Structure 1
Amino acid sequence: MSRSGSGEALADAFDAQRGRLVAVAYRMLGSRADAEDAVQEAWLRLAHQDPASIDNLAGWLTTVVGRVSIDVLRSRRVRPEQPTDPLPELVVTEDGDSPTEENVLLAESVGLALLVVLDTLRPAERLAFVLHDMFAVPFEEIGQILGRSADATKMLASRARRKVQGTPQPADERQQQRAVVDAFLAAARDGDFEGLLRVLDPDVTWRSQNAHGVAVKLGATEVAIAAERGARAEATAWPVLVNGEPGIVAWTASGKPMGVMACTVVDGRIVEILSLRDPKRLAEMDLPGRPQ
């Protein structure tokens, strides 16, 4: 990003909006890499725009990011692909008896369960819900992005809201979610295949990243087999919250981090597992529970 000449003020104004724009795009797209790409596209378009023609920079940038995001979402539906991007940023915090304000806010903003539910929405529903309910963008402005009236946009957001209302709230449901994850871990350690199937959603997805890339396993049977195999490793498991969801950090006997796992629980079953075993990423994280 060039800061020479008259472009310096424009670049500074854009930088002031970047964090919010990335947050908007991330909740729209569920991928940090895609969110950064959408925001970069907004900057490229801004750099070719006459600043005098923009009355509301924040609104203009939100509109651009919204349009780019909905194009990406529609493209995914036309050409669905297996996710191959690295796992999203994982924020690991202590899983205490009572949630801290920081953890609650984190869970509400980037909780994995919410992203799972958002993925079930149609692109227009997701845009209307995210922009209005999460970022207070007026329906008139959202309608301009979608090419629909404010009333039609309001109906989209209402329909999306009804679908999202079933999303578990970690602050209230944490003990139940943790019990499901504990049952999953116990069944894996005991080699209880039927026990694993009882706590896994039939369409569960397991994304695992190691030093070589990301592997994806689909379906309860395949995930249960992988869980049994992984539980054979000798490790100390420490309960944590990962992006506000119940998870664990696994440590070797020598005190080196072996992995981080996060589970999204919906209606008493695990619908998604993210596991990170990349030594480089693990070494960069501040992880609790290191054996003494």
Structure 2
Amino acid sequence: MKVLFAAPEAQWAEWSAAIAETCPEAQLHRDGDPASFDAIIYAPGGEIEDLSPYRNARLVQSLWAGVERIVTNPTLTQPLARMVDPGLTESMTEYCTGWAMRAHLGMDRYAQDGDWRNDLIPPLARDRRVTVLGMGALGGATAQMLAGIGFDVAGYSPSGRGPEGIQIFRAGELPQALARAEILITLLPDTAETTNLLDADNLARLPKGATIINPGRGKVIDDDGLLAALDQGHIAHAVLDVFRTEPLPGDHPFWAHPGITVTPHIAAATRAETAAVLVAENLRRAMSGRPILHLVDRTRGY
């Protein structure tokens, strides 16, 4: 099969080697006659503006879990699959768990200044309420890891689906999910319904002193609403890994705000050594006419 690698050039060496090992029957190319390709491997930074010439492609396989950069392209008629990678899931759960533990234990309270603050003792994890917005592969795994540590974890999923043993708030129950969230983790997809979901009104539903961790999608949080909630002391801290504009401009107020920690979109990355297994499987499925794994529902946007 002939496959177009429509991803940043910097990823070519790693991915060409990984695909050669996991799917040797695939011939990977960076360019060529659009009509000659059987499938496309896609990642932002290697965009194809017009997908209509690739009329014979049976699959567009995204290397990212999020597909908002391509799913709205009106020339996309080929089946689109999102990335579900064990390595990506591991890194996301570790990021969320690390920052949740930092917030829970109040690690930043103990300045090394000679002041003996032994009155600042955190509760046990079982007494700390965490809500995870989004119960997809990443959100579900994060909720399970935090519950395994002992946190009182609940999830929010409009469909009501979620891992066994986790309390799930469904569509219409977002206020209840937020009201209990001493630590709120957002792993929702980027859709019309989730844009500015955490606006001033919904941020006000969080308990006073809550911490927000957002490694999901930048558009979920209203920037001005978050800054106001922090300035008012309602939100204690926000850890942000994703933003409306990336890289985050150097003069953006998030950089200088004492209540915000900026991380540069490093919470989770697709690793070729683990993700190539899924890519190879989907390429074979597409060529043999079998169902594609993790097919995107374009009406929902993910």
Q: TM-score range by the shorter chain?
A: under 0.3
TM-score, normalised on structure 2? 0.25
TM-score if structure 1 supplies the norm length? 0.26
Give the helix-richer structure, 1 or 2.
Answer: 1
